[in-house]
């Protein structure tokens, strides 16, 4: 489909982040918003992700972002007038500690979380087993549990934002690729697509695992890299496990989705930087070994499918949500480092406010300059 | 047979009418249809429905079956039990 030849803002990337930004811009009354997606909506990391949403973070900013995003997820069916329920399931996240040191960190995090009304609490190993009866307690010294964390269906959330954005007048072009960004001086003048040129002076980089390529289009070497992360799904069974079970040190996340299958993954510390999306046999073996040890009854389940998606990672594993200082009008919502789905609702709100020149509804600082200054965000709770 | 009585995907209990409605909403690739209504996501891994969906799509889009892109064939080809993959950890 040929594209419009002029726009107020052009968003590159039709994942959950780009669509949340599009919807919120339209909600603030910004007209002529265009979103470009080179495949179908959600085809990137969004529909490949683990669908987990948690509020148990260790920095004030992340607690605020996650808590407020949860408020939005809880009201999303009504707010976005969805056609299909987004399948929110709040059965909690159980985080497991395998050393006293890890447990100490959890206690510190819990203090921060309580300031933000996040109803998380410390659990003893025995309490952990009350919550997840099939848990193997070997090596576990304790944990933290937040009953309102959980799961939402990423593809349906994406659809919900897309439909709501369209109703507010946003033009969404799928199978349309941004090829280059035209610049004169340091000012953006347009986006060249495979369906024609769109004149604009504002661009949003929401290209997920390909965000560095969009950066190159305006001459920026963005501090992000991409890395494959694998995941698998089992056959469905009757409800067995309420919460997501997760451990940073044992390196696993595993949840049962509302329809009944289990989703699980871990981060391979030796994974190289790449755009590789192939599935590996190594992952299948290591994943099933980890799951069978921690959650023994799951070993009887059949693996139905495995796949991979890209994490877009920054040096401190915290996102960049900012306008470029070098190229004014170039906005970024990138580098989500494996947790961009759960904070997409607030990302959409905050970036739209920034573009519209309004006061942010919560205080945050996620500019890329922190990497040059060596002023990294120290978030202890990343996978 | 009536579209509302014709089961296309047995694992997910989806009728032809339901699938046609999703296509009418504008989801015109198998990848999207899978994600919206779980077509082909069950234990049989699409062995029936994926043989039918390309015909349905071709009819609705008025094109040849060969023009419909089939989804990525994701491993493992047959559902394998975790304990068979996990080696020793699965034995205990
Ligand atoms: C295996 C795995 C598990 C995960 N689990 C979780 C989880 O449990 N919870 C959580 O919160 N997060 C999770 N994540 C992270 C989460 O998926 C991402 O942070 C989030 O989806 C990012 O959304 P996005 O919209 O920024 O990117 P994407 O969804 O990747 O969207 C970017 C889009 O941009 C498009 N694009 C790229 N270049 C161009 C171009 N030149 N022109 C037009 N379009 C372009 C792509 O096609 C893509 O659709 C997981 C990720 C993976 C891979």
- Please name each of the domains of chain B with its CATH number: 7-71 (1.10.10.1100)
Question: Looking at the structure, do residues A243 and A287 belong to the same domain, yes or no?
Answer: yes
Report the pLDDT averaged over residues A302-313: 96
**Structure ipTM over 0.95, yes or no:** no
Name the pLDDT band for A383 (thresholds 50, 70, 90): low
Domain boundary among A274, A293, A313: A313
Name the pLDDT band for B73 (thresholds 50, 70, 90): confident
- Nearest alpha carbon to residue B43 among A233, A51, A69, A230: A233
CATH of the domain at A194: 3.50.50.60
Nearest to B81 among A279, A302, A307 (CB): A302
In a domain, A2, yes or no: no
Calculate ∠ Cα A220-A322-A56, nearest 5°. 120
Cα gap A329→A344, rounded to integer Å: 21
Q: Which atom in ligand 1 lies closest to the alpha carbon of residue A340? A: 19
Report the pLDDT averaged over residues A49-71: 97
- Long-range contacts (CB closer than 8 Å, 24 or more residues apart) made by A266-274: A266/A290, A267/A229, A267/A338, A267/A383, A268/A229, A268/A230, A271/A227, A271/A228, A271/A229, A272/A227, A273/A225, A273/A226, A273/A227, A274/A226, A274/A227, A274/A228
Q: Which atom in ligand 1 lies closest to the alpha carbon of residue A51? A: 8
Question: Looking at the structure, do residues A290 and A170 belong to the same domain, yes or no?
Answer: no
Per-residue confidence (pLDDT) for residue A148, from 0 to 100:
98
Q: Return the percentage of chain A with pLDDT > 70, whole number.
A: 100
Question: Looking at the structure, do residues A276 and A293 belong to the same domain, yes or no?
Answer: yes
pLDDT greater than 60 at residue A338: yes
Q: A360 is in which domain, residue-wise?
A: 9-48+155-224+316-373
pTM for this entry: 0.95
Q: Of residues A231 and B40, which shows the higher confidence score?
A: A231
Which residues in B lie closer than 8 A to residue A306 (C-beta atoms)?
A: 74-76
Mutate to test the pocket of ligand 1, among A338, A345, A346, A379 (most ligand atoms within 8 A of CB): A338
Q: What is the mean pLDDT of chain A?
A: 97
Hey, which residues does A309 pair with through a beta bridge? A229
> Tell me: the pLDDT tens digits for A176-225?
999 999 999 889 999 999 999 999 999 999 999 999 999 999 999 999 99
Per-residue confidence (pLDDT) for residue A24, from 0 to 100:
98
A259 and chain B: CB distance < 8 Å anywhere? yes
In a domain, A85, yes or no: no
In a domain, A69, yes or no: no
Cα gap A111→A120, rounded to integer Å: 9
Report the pLDDT averaged over residues A231-254: 97
Question: Looking at the structure, do residues A232 and A298 belong to the same domain, yes or no?
Answer: yes
Question: Looking at the structure, do residues A236 and A308 belong to the same domain, yes or no?
Answer: yes
Task: Give the length of chain A.
Answer: 383
Name the pLDDT band for A1 (thresholds 50, 70, 90): confident
Residues with beta carbon inside 6 Å of ligand 1? Answer: A 12-18, 36-39, 43-46, 48-52, 177-178, 206-210, 229, 231, 265, 309-311, 336, 338-342
Hey, which residues does A263 pair with through a beta bridge? A233, A255
Cα gap A36→A15, rounded to integer Å: 10
């Amino acid at each position: 489909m040929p594209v419009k030849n002029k726009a107020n803002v052009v968003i590159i990337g039709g994942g959950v982040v780009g669509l949340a930004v599009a919807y919120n811009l339209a909600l603030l009354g910004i007209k002529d918003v265009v979103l470009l997606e080179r495949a179908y909506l959600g085809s990137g990391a969004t529909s490949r992700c683990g669908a987990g949403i948690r509020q148990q973070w260790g920095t004030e900013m992340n607690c605020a972002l996650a808590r407020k995003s949860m408020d939005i997820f809880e009201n999303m069916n009504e707010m976005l007038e969805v056609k299909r329920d987004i399948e929110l399931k709040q059965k909690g996240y159980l985080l497991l500690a395998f050393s006293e040191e890890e447990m100490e960190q959890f206690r510190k995090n819990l203090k921060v979380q309580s300031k933000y009304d996040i109803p998380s609490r410390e659990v003893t190993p025995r309490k952990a087993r009350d919550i997840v009866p099939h848990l193997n307690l070997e090596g576990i010294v304790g944990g933290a549990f937040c009953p309102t964390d959980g799961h939402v269906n990423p593809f349906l959330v994406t659809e919900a934002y897309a439909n709501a954005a369209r109703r507010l007048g946003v033009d969404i072009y799928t199978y349309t690729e941004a090829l280059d960004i035209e610049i004169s001086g340091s000012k953006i003048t347009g986006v060249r697509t495979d369906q024609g040129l769109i004149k604009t002076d504002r661009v949003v980089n929401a290209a997920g695992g390909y965000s560095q390529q969009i950066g190159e289009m305006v001459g920026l070497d963005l501090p992000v890299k991409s890395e494959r992360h694998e995941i698998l799904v089992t056959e469905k069974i009757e409800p067995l496990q309420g919460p997501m079970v997760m451990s940073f040190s044992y390196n696993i996340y595993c949840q049962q989705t509302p329809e009944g299958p289990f989703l699980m993954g871990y981060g391979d510390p030796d994974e190289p930087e790449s755009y590789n999306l192939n599935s590996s046999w190594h992952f299948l073996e290591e994943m099933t070994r980890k799951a069978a040890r921690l959650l023994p009854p799951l070993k009887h389940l059949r693996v139905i499918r495995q796949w991979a998606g890209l994490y877009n990672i920054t040096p401190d594993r915290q996102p960049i949500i900012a306008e470029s200082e070098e190229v004014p009008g170039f906005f970024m919502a990138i580098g989500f480092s494996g947790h961009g789905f759960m904070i997409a609702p607030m990302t959409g709100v905050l970036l739209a406010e920034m573009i519209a020149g309004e006061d942010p509804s919560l205080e945050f600082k996620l500019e890329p300059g922190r990497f040059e200054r060596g002023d990294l965000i120290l978030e202890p709770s990343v996978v | 047979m009536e579209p509302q009585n014709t089961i296309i995907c047995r694992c997910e209990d989806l009728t032809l009418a339901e699938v046609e409605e999703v296509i009418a909403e504008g989801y015109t690739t198998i990848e999207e249809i899978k994600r919206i209504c779980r077509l082909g996501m069950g234990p049989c891994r699409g062995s029936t429905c994926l043989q039918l969906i390309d015909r349905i799509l071709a009819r609705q889009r008025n094109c040849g079956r060969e023009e419909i892109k089939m989804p990525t064939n994701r491993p493992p080809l047959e559902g394998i039990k975790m304990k068979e993959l996990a080696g020793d950890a699965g034995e205990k």
